Amino acid sequence: MIIKRDNIRNVAIIAHVDHGKTTLVDALLKQSGVFRENQDVAERVMDSNDLERERGITILSKNTAVFYKDTKINIIDTPGHADFGGEVERVLKMVNGVILLVDAFEGPMPQTKFVLRKALELDLTVIVCINKVDRDEARPDEVEEEVLELLLDLDASDEQLDCAFVYASAKKGWAVKELGDEEKDMTPLFETILERIPAPEGDPDAGTQVLISTIDYNEYVGRIGVGKVDNGKIAVNQEVLLANHFDPEKQKKVKISKLYEFDGLDKVDVKEAGIGSIVAISGIPDIHIGDTLCDPEDPHPIPFQKISEPTISMNFCVNDSPLAGQSGKYITSRHIRDRLFRELNTDVSLRVEETDSPDTFKVSGRGELHLSVLIETMRREGYEFAVSKAEVIYRYDEKGKKLEPMELAYIDVPEEYSGSVISALSERKGELVGMKIGSSGDSRLEFSIPARGLIGFRGGFLTMTKGTGVMNTVYDDYAPYKGDIEFRKQGSLIAFEAGEAVTYGLFQAQARGALFIGPGEKVYSGMVIGQCAKPEDIELNVCKTKHLTNTRSSSADEALILTPPRILSLEQALEFIDTDELLEVTPDALRIRKRQLDSRLRKREMMNHKN
């Protein structure tokens, strides 16, 4: 018999990047009594990972739970970046409704559309929370109209169009049902969740069914599967069958040794859990996302949301440069292989393939940000390796025609820069499909552009718009190949010999282009030390000192004035490298190098390539 669990609500918070999801969760946690009165609580407490805190983005979805009027509200904070869309897709299987958070000034953005489409496809109830209504430039009424237009564009049903609107300032910790109501606390949002989000339903007497939607990983207990109890119950010491709807071969009897539920930011041991509960299960080593724990006598694995395929790939290989192994703790191909395959435990959108070379692995993901977060995480853990330029993944139709992934790019820039942005993206095969001039004089440009046209574009875009431009992209679909694109118009400055860069050598070199290194840095033959002002590569000796004579002393070097080097961030370095270059990644350095370090062999390869 199907029953409702009225004392539980399961809800996900979905939104575009930086619209305040994690801040809203902070406010809900604080006002539900999760923290003690005098407890010192970090801002954006749900972003527990260092990278998330530094970049101000959510990368991994997080579970938490609060109590309001004897009802347990399980809340899932999801990422807003399209690169982490795999995270959003799978967690929506655990909830009965979503809170769509929209910035009262920016309105619906590309990612808003992306995550909302996923929610509507799963027929989830939507509560729209217009956040930051206390901003000076807020325009909540217009944004409400824009959200309704977006719902119509996405073919929402009549029930979905009849969604509740709540207005909030997550930062100040209040929400109201109508603009102009008294601004007190988050009660109106709590009340709307109880009224609008359906209680979970299921048959408590049926066989156990728990679909695993997220995997957590802990060094002490290994893999932890997180999912919702759809039917029956699950209990410690119960024997269940681990099965998968899309892999009928996978059937393994396992025993539940540890069971947890979420309470605030903690996992709490429980003996058993019923329908609608979101649980974490440890002690099953080969549990994967998409698996169902079910009754061994009558197994019915639940179908799982298909995760979007990767669109971009790069090679991760063993670092074989002359400076290899000086700062990394994990440097062998076995170390790199184990770490990459371990990442697959928790990241469903990632693919790792072995190649013909035992030292190289092909890693595919949803975008440059997706892969750069993995690279940065690994280098912080002490790994040392090299990566190639990101390349898109092509497909071929039945007639053998080449297809490539396309993106929709939404660009907000002051009107005076719109001409140069349109020109730059047109060179990269972008097609302008929409243009609006906002009330503040900013232009919003919408482009359809090949994914490869955006590789390496962000750095130049920020320079072109003097840091004022905002670019958001979302994957669209595969389309016929748009033709070749010329990426880098400037060559590289390459070190001619190994040694230590000196002021005199660098002073001579800086006339040829922009340098990436300063005096005292170690270099080796074939290492890229700067960007050439001309289209060709130039080799330079930056270790060269001036010959001393009776009349000149080495102190004359001190009078030479060097332009400060351009220190590249990880993203900038990944954007800069060309197809014949690698980025050497170590815990304390990023170095760009030619794939072929030997100058003569490099020239020979270039001649063969031209012929």
Fold: same for 312-391 and 396-480:
yes
pLDDT value, residue 40: 38
The two tokens of residue 543 are 């270790």
For residue 228, the tally of other CB atoms under 10 A from its CB is 26
* pLDDT tens readout for residues 480-489: 998 888 766 7
- Torsion sign, CA atoms 282, 283, 289, 292: negative
pLDDT value, residue 212: 85
How would you write 100-131 as a 3-class SS string?
EEEECCCCCCHHHHHHHHHHHHCCCEEEEEEE
* pLDDT tens readout for residues 187-238: 888 899 899 889 888 888 888 888 888 777 766 777 788 888 888 888 888 8
Residue 510 contacts residue 563 (beta carbons within 8 Å): yes
Instruction: Taking each helix axis as running N to C, give the angle between helix 140-153 and helix 110-121, from 0 to 180 degrees, rounded to the nearest 10.
Output: 50
Query: 410: closest CA among 434, 437, 438, 442?
Result: 434
pLDDT greater than 50 at residue 382: yes
Looking at the chain, the whole-number percentage of residues with pLDDT higher than 70 is: 86
Mean pLDDT, to the nearest integer, of 575-588? 90
Q: Among the listed ranges 270-284, 426-440, 536-550, which one has the minimum average pLDDT value?
A: 536-550
Question: pLDDT category, 440, cuts 50, 70, 90?
Answer: low
> How far is it, in rounded angstroms, from Cα 117 to Cα 98?
12
Burial (0-12, 13-18, 19+ Cβ within 10 Å), 253? exposed
Mean pLDDT, to the nearest integer, of 99-106? 86
pLDDT value, residue 157: 85
All residues at 6 or more sequence positions from 187 whose CB lies less than 8 Å from its CB, including other chains: 175
What's the whole-model pTM score?
A: 0.71
3-state secondary structure of 71: strand
At the top level of CATH, the class of 492-610 is: mainly beta
Q: Among the listed ranges 211-215, 459-463, 595-599, which one has the minimum average pLDDT value?
A: 459-463
* Average pLDDT across the chain, whole number: 81
Dihedral pair phi/psi, residue 422, rounded to 5°: -60, -45
Residue type, 611: N
Domain residue extents for the chain:
3-201, 203-294, 312-391, 396-480, 492-610
Cα angle 324-329-333, degrees, rounded to a multiple of 5: 65
Residue 516 contacts residue 545 (beta carbons within 8 Å): no
pLDDT value, residue 110: 66
> How far is it, in rounded angstroms, from Cα 71 to Cα 68?
5
pLDDT value, residue 38: 38
At the top level of CATH, the class of 203-294 is: mainly beta
Query: 543: closest CA among 501, 498, 494?
Result: 501
pLDDT greater than 60 at residue 527: yes
For residue 330, the tally of other CB atoms under 10 A from its CB is 16
All residues at 6 or more sequence positions from 301 whose CB lies less than 8 Å from its CB, including other chains: 243, 244, 245, 291, 292, 294
Report the CATH architecture of 396-480: 2-Layer Sandwich (3.30)
322: left (phi over 0), alpha (psi -120 to 50) or beta: alpha
Residue 576 contacts residue 516 (beta carbons within 8 Å): no
Q: Which residues, listed in sequence order, are joined to residue 525 by a DSSP beta bridge?
A: none
Higher-confidence residue: 86 or 108? 108
Under CATH, which number does the domain 312-391 receive? Answer: 3.30.70.870
| Superfamily classification of domain 3-201 | P-loop containing nucleotide triphosphate hydrolases (3.40.50.300)
All residues at 6 or more sequence positions from 242 whose CB lies less than 8 Å from its CB, including other chains: 250, 251, 252, 253, 254, 284, 286, 287, 291, 292, 293
